[in-house]
Amino acid sequence: MPEELVLATPSCQDIAARGEATYGEKYCAELEKTSNGKFIAINVTNGDGTLADTGEDAVRLALEKDPSGFFHLMRVGHKAAFQAMEHELCPLKLDPL
């Protein structure tokens, strides 16, 4: 019986590192001139990049091309794809004893 090749799933850190490296080597120079603010989903298994106006569209289109790919999402010209916002919920009020 032939032995099947089993590919290991890359860690989140590995996907991020490979995605950022691919972006820097292959896409950064051109996209930061022409597509600032758009989103790119980078398939870290083959280096393909899928560009779209929203992160959701970039990932959806990338998955249509390669449903088994591993993707790193970046926003062109930004340090992160999304910005986390800090919201103050109801401040805790303690009654004095």
- Angstrom distance (rounded) from CA 93 to CA 75: 40
pLDDT, residue 88, reads 52
Per-residue pLDDT of the chain (97 residues), as tens digits, is: 445 554 678 899 999 999 999 999 999 999 999 999 999 999 999 999 999 999 999 999 999 999 999 999 999 998 777 665 555 554 544 455 5
- At residue 7, the pLDDT reads 61
- pTM for this structure? 0.76
The residue written with tokens 């019986």 in the block is: 1
Cα–Cα distance measured from residue 93 to residue 52, given in angstroms and rounded to the nearest whole number: 45
pLDDT on residue 79: 78
Q: What's residue 96's pLDDT?
A: 54
